């Protein structure tokens, strides 16, 4: 049954509603307040503790927490009321950092990264440097305002790989997670992207979709879901895309609030723990990613960023970026990490095994 306790206001962030779990420190305390097995203990049992990073392949920049949507499961607690966005100066520090090393993939996320006023400038600079650029686009932003309508062309010009969330091919399931009317607009945006060649088999313009469960359960087999999404989106809306990334919801931020409000937290954590897979633990994305926050601080991943768990190195800010320093660093783990190691594993690029 849908809980009546869950008084989520669909238009503003949890922070703006002064919800206790909007605080990273409260979340960490909560995640450690039970006697469930610790993530470190599980890593130890598969000889992976401490978890150590290798070469950085992905430079993931969070351009800010501002978003035109307020999805129920958002791990960023993003929304239109969030004002934290990356300045042009910090973007320049990111470019300087990239010039000092040979990381080839830059992954832009948010919030809705496109809402950052210097978003296009940043992409142009990255494009000039020949980087492989990924933009995590929520789709509805393309239709949110006239000034965004040409985003598909802009993306195509810079050969940006577009990664977009579409939790389901049913309007009901997508809207229940992402907000009323989101499905219809997402479909329209996908058709716009398809129209200029995105997601087409013979095109180099990549369009990948992100599936994440619209409830307290783990994603099923990624390939099976991809086949079904392809079939249904093609039949119903003539939409094509390249790959489907199945991503597990991590128990933090608004998804954690949902779990707590609906009294599903313990069962969900137990499900994650029971599904712990050492192979997935070996392949967690923090081992080859560095995540940069809107204010320039460095994190092992976007989830740690939201929990304010900074990297375990002397230099914790992009102004002091040093790829050598970050190599072989000990990754900061906590109970939320069970979300990355369950089943086939989960990362920003889908399963990891």
Partner 1 sequence: MDNSYYDPKDLKKFGNITEWQPKLGEKFFDYYGEVFKEGALTAREKSLIALAVSHAVHCPYCIDAYTSDSLKKGADEEQMMEAIHVAAAIKSGAVLVHGVQMMNKADDITM
Binder to partner 1 among 40, 220, 295, 330 (CB under 8 A)? 220
Window 172-211: residues binding partner 1 (CB under 8 A): 172-173, 211
Cβ within 8 Å of residue 178, ≥6 positions away: 69, 71, 72, 165, 167, 186
Q: How far is the CB of 136 from partner 1 (least distance, A)?
A: 22
Could you tell which of partner 1, ligand SF4, none binds residue 284, using a CB distance below 5 to 8 A set by kind? Answer: ligand SF4
Single out the segment in contact with ligand SF4 by CB under 6 A; choices: 91-99, 215-223, 260-268, 332-340: 332-340
Closest to 324 measured CA to CA, from 102, 131, 105? 102
Cβ within 8 Å of residue 96, ≥6 positions away: 321
Phi/psi for 14 (5° steps) reads -65, -30
Binder to partner 1 among 124, 221, 263, 266 (CB under 8 A)? 221
d(CA 322, CA 315): 8
- Tell me the CB-side half-sphere exposure of residue 88, using CA atoms within 13 A: 5
Binder to partner 1 among 81, 228, 320, 330 (CB under 8 A)? 228
Place of tokens 């897979």: 277
Window 286-305: residues binding ligand SF4 (CB under 6 A): 286, 300-301, 303-304
CA distances for 150 relative to 25, 122, 185, 208, angstroms: 40, 17, 15, 19
Residue 344 engages ligand SF4 in binding (rule: CB under 6 A): no
Note the Cα 238 to chain centre separation in Å: 27
Residue 70 engages ligand SF4 in binding (rule: CB under 6 A): yes
Single out the segment in contact with partner 1 by CB under 8 A; choices: 199-207, 216-224, 250-258, 309-317: 216-224
Q: How far is the CB of 7 from ligand SF4 (least distance, A)?
A: 18
Binding site for ligand SF4 (CB under 6 A): 67, 69-71, 74, 76, 78, 110-112, 138, 178, 284-286, 300-301, 303-304, 331, 333, 336-337, 340
């Amino acid at each position: 049954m849908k809980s009546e306790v869950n008084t989520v206001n669909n238009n503003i962030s949890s922070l703006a509603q002064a919800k206790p779990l909007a605080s990273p420190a409260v979340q960490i305390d909560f995640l450690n307040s039970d006697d469930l097995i610790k993530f470190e203990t599980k890593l130890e049992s598969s000889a992976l503790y401490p978890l150590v990073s290798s070469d950085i392949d992905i430079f993931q920049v969070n351009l800010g927490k501002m978003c035109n949507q307020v999805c129920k499961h958002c791990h960023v607690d993003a929304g239109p009321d969030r004002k934290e966005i990356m300045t042009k100066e910090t973007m320049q520090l990111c470019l300087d950092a990239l010039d000092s090393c040979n990381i080839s993939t830059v992954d832009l996320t948010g919030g809705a990264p496109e809402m950052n006023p210097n978003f296009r400038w940043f992409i142009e600079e990255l494009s000039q440097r020949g980087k492989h650029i990924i933009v995590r686009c929520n789709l509805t932003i393309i239709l949110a305002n006239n000034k965004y309508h040409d985003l598909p062309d802009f993306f195509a010009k810079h050969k940006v790989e577009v990664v977009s969330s579409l939790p389901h091919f049913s309007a009901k399931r997508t809207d229940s997670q992402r907000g009323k009317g989101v499905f219809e607009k997402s479909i329209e945006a996908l058709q716009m992207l398809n129209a200029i060649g995105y997601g087409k088999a013979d095109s180099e313009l990549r369009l990948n979709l992100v599936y994440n469960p619209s409830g307290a359960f783990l994603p099923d087999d990624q390939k099976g879901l991809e086949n079904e999404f392809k079939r249904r989106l093609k039949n119903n809306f003539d939409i094509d895309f390249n790959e489907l990334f199945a991503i597990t919801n991590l128990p933090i931020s608004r998804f954690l609030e949902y779990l707590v409000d609906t009294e599903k937290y313990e069962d969900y954590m137990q499900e994650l723990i029971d599904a712990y897979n050492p192979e997935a633990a070996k392949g967690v994305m923090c081992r080859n990613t560095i995540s940069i926050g809107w204010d320039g601080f460095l994190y092992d991943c976007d989830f740690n960023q939201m929990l304010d768990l900074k990297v375990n190195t002397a230099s914790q800010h992009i102004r002091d970026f040093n790829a050598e320093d970050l190599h072989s660093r000990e990754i900061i783990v906590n109970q939320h990490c069970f979300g990355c190691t369950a089943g086939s594993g989960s990362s920003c690029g889908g399963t990891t095994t």
